[in-house]
Structure 1
Amino acid sequence: MRILSGSPFEEEFAYARAVVDGDHVYVSGTTGFDYATMTISEDVADQAAQCLRNIAAVLAEAGASLADVVRVRYLLPDPADFAACGPALREAFGDVRPAATMLVCGLLDERMRIEIEVDARRRG
Structure 2
Amino acid sequence: MSTWKAFRPDGIPHPFALTLSNEETMFVSGLGGHDDEGNISESPLEQARQALRKMQAHLEREGFSLDEIVWFHPYTTDISYAFEMDEALREAFGDNPPACGSMLAGVQLADPRMKIEFEAVAVKGATRVRVK
Query: 2:34 is aligned with what amino acid?
Result: F
Query: 1:28 is aligned with what amino acid?
Result: S
Specify the SS of the correspondent of 2:71: strand
Supply the RMSD in Å over aligned alpha carbons: 1.5
- Unpaired runs of 5+ residues, structure 1, are none
Q: Give the structure with the higher percent strand.
A: 1
Q: How far apart, CA to CA, are the structure 1 residues paired with 2:60 and 2:77?
A: 28
Whether the 8 Å contact between 1:25 and 1:121 is mirrored in structure 2 is yes
Are positions 1:66 and 2:66 aligned together?
Answer: yes
Larger Rg: 1 or 2? Answer: 2
Normalised to the residue count of structure 1, the TM-score between the two structures is 0.90
Normalised to the residue count of structure 2, the TM-score between the two structures is 0.85
Q: Which runs of 4+ in 1 moved over 6 A?
A: none
**Overall identity of the aligned pairs, in %:** 34
Q: How far apart, CA to CA, are the structure 2 residues paired with 1:66 and 1:59?
A: 7
Q: How far apart, CA to CA, are the structure 2 residues paired with 1:96 and 1:17?
A: 25
Provide the aligned length of Structure 1 versus Structure 2.
120
Query: 1:22, CA displacement in angstroms?
Result: 3.3
- Unpaired runs of 5+ residues, structure 2, are 127-132
Q: Give the structure with the higher percent helix.
A: 1
In structure 2, the partner of 1:3 is 7
Q: How far apart, CA to CA, are the structure 1 residues paired with 2:96 and 2:62?
A: 18
Specify the SS of the correspondent of 1:109: coil
